[in-house]
Structure 1
Amino acid sequence: MSTWSTNLTFAPLALSSQDPLPALALSKLDDWGMVTLIGPDSKAYLQGQLTCDVVSLEAGKSTLAAHCDAKGKMRTVMRLFHIENGYGYLQRQSVMATQIPELKKYAVFSKTDITPSDNIVLGLSGEQAQAAIDAYFTEGDDVRHNDIATAVKVDAQRWFIISSPEHAETIAQHFAAEATLSDSTLWDLYDINAALPRVDSATELEFIPQAMNLQAVNGISFKKGCYTGQETVARAKYRGINKRAMYIVTGEAAQCPQAGDALERSVGENWRKGGSVITGFQFTDNQAMALVVLPNDLDEDTQFRFEAQPEAIWEKQSLPYTLDDDA
């Protein structure tokens, strides 16, 4: 086990729901991992496995994508990008043991080597993150490399930073000089605010990509050729069979909502299961936020609650993007 972070303390931040986020924060993302595909057939192989258009992915860009089973249910949501001689992708550690063998299943017929990486994953966030990355990496694209690290842009205020265990402390110490240190829960909060999809073991093979809004964050190409699960994904778009979407909900909670937790919804004077939590964050003032997959035809005044705390009413919030699907 790597001990690179022994000299640094990455702990949960004590944030109330009214507190501003740190101008610059460095998070240790132990619950994220990297996989590489190296070899001349890697592009073609991934093109036949993922929802995104791998062929059109530019060298300096990244994209969200899903890897589905034959029924169109997601094994993972990943962030895919080019690395030297191939591709890398970042996904949740909790699905590594099940997703990688499925991705490898037909690779015996292709010249591509699919390997889980031991690289350390960090997250740099905040309004000063872009300037800090610009100062450390001389390249100007959304995927940047130097001799010891790779940085992958998520949005205007966030970057993944990936390095080998032997260089991780050097990189962390560099950014720690100006940044607040945090564990991965701060990254979860950013993902909730951005309504970015993810799949953990508790939600693996539960949802099709559109149920987590993947089409709204450019994670699905409806113009590429065949890939595993494409029939279901296309039918959800063109025949309107998808009845779910992912939403931000907020409310009072005694504990942080966890992936797979059930959220109940109001139906008249009764309550029924409403949806499944994708990820959650709890503030110090007992307020909390979560991403939840819910029916996409609910009334605007629908209320929500968790069975363990029925007196606390939750509400749906606005998404930072539109769910209109015209791609």
Structure 2
Amino acid sequence: MSTWSTNLTFSPLALSSQDPLPALALSKLDDWGMVTLIGADSKAYLQGQLTCDLVSLEASKSTLAAHCDAKGKMRTVMRIFHIDNGYGYLQRQTVMATQIPELKKYAVFSKTDINQSTDVVLGLSGEQAQSAIDNYFTGSDDVRHNDIATAVKVDNLRWFIITPIEHAETVAQHFAANATLTDTALWNLYDIKAALPRVEAATELEFIPQAMNLQSVNGISFKKGCYTGQETVARAKYRGINKRAMYIVSGESTQCPQAGDALERSVGENWRKGGTVITGYQFNDQQALALVVLPNDLDDDAQFRFASQPDAIWEKHPLPYALDDDA
């Protein structure tokens, strides 16, 4: 394990459900990692594997995408971008050991080298994040590079920062001068509020992309050619067979909801399994938030609970985007 951060303390941030988020925070994202594809055939190969249209991805932009199996079930959700005359993508560490071998399976016929990077992944968040990035990286693109780091924009409040281990402390110290240092939980909270999909080992190969709203965050192209799982993804759009969506829910909890946890929903006077947790966040006042895949035809006032805490009733909240298939 790298010891690059021994001179910095990335601590859990104590937040109540009513507290404002830090104006600038630097999170150590050990549970994220990067994979690189370098070689002349990388674009063509990935185009046949991912849900996004990589051909139209500009060097100044990143995009979400899913890598699916032949049945259209997601192995991962990634954020992909141009780097080092090839591509890099960020995904959860828990799926690395299974997703990378599957991506490599047919790459032997293509000129592309696929490798898990040892680079450190950091997250910069808050209302001052944009200005902090502008002061450290030149240009105005959503993907920026300098001699020792790459920055990838997530939204108006967040950037990923990727840097080799030997430069990680230098980069972190620069932002630490004006930022709150914290662990990955704050990043999870932002992902929940933004309703951004992710796949963990506990949810790998469980859902098609539309069940996590990937079409609503520009992660699916319905105009590109074939890719692994494309038939199922297209059928879900054009035949309306998808019956699930990902929602934000909140309630009282004595523990943080974990990926794969089952959420029950009320059906008359009874309770039955309603959905699967994608990720969660717990505040220090016993309130919690979670992203959960649920049936997409539930009433707005539907109630939910975890079987382990049957007296704590959870509720569904509006999403920050429309659920549509117009990509």
Query: Which ranges of structure 2 fall in alignment gaps of 5 or more residues?
Result: none
The one-character-per-residue Cα deviations of 1:229-269 (angstroms, maximum 9, x if unpaired) are 00000000000000000000000000000000000000000
Matched ranges for 1:294-309 at <5 A:
294-309=294-309
Instruction: For 1:237-316, list aligned pairs within 5 A.
Output: 237-316=237-316
CA-atom RMSD in angstroms = 0.5
Q: Does 2:152 correspond to 1:157?
A: no
Distance in 1, Cα, partners of 2:140 & 2:20:
28
1:183 corresponds in structure 2 to 183
Residue aligning to 2:218: 218
Q: TM-score, normalised by structure 1?
A: 1.00
Superimposed CA distance per residue, residues 89-115 of structure 1 (whole angstroms, 9 cap, x where no aligned partner):
000000000000000000000000000
Equivalent residue runs for 1:1-327 within 5 Å: 1-327=1-327
Distance 1:239 1:258 in 2: 32
Distance 1:28 1:301 in 2: 37
Tell me by how many angstroms 1:324 deviates.
Answer: 2.1
Aligned residue type for 2:45: Y
Output one character per residue of 1:49-82: Cα deviation in whole Å (capped at 9) or x when no partner: 0000000000010000000000000000000000
Distance (whole Å) between structure 2 residues aligned to residue 307 and residue 131 of structure 1: 44
1: distance between equivalents of 2:27 and 2:196? Answer: 17
Shift of 1:85: 1.3
Q: 1:116: Cα distance to partner?
A: 0.2
Deviation by residue 1:132-169 (Cα, 9 ceiling, x = unmatched): 00000012100000000000000000000000000000
Range moving further from structure 2, 1-10 or 263-272: 1-10
5+ long unaligned stretches in structure 1:
none
* Maintained 8 Å contact 1:72/1:230: yes
Residues in 2 aligned to 1:316 and 1:248: alpha-carbon distance in whole angstroms: 6
Partner AA of 1:9 in structure 2: T
Identity %: 86
Residue 233 of structure 1 aligns to a residue whose secondary structure is: helix
Any idea what the Cα deviations from partners look like across 1:276-308, whole Å, max 9, x if unmatched? 000000000000000000000012221000000
Displacement, 1:2?
A: 1.1
Which runs of 4 or more aligned residues in structure 1 lie more than 6 Å from their structure 2 counterparts after TM superposition?
none
Report the Cα distance in structure 2 between the residues aligned to 1:160 and 1:85, rounded to whole angstroms: 19
Q: Residue type of the partner of 1:300?
A: D
SS in structure 2 at match of 1:274: strand
Q: In the alignment, is the contact (CA less than 8 A) between 1:139 and 1:145 conserved in 2? A: no
CA contact (8 A) 1:185 1:281 kept: yes
Helix, strand or coil at the partner of 1:55: helix
SS in 2 for 1:211: helix
* Residues 215 and 326, structure 2, Cα contact 8 Å, conserved in 1: no
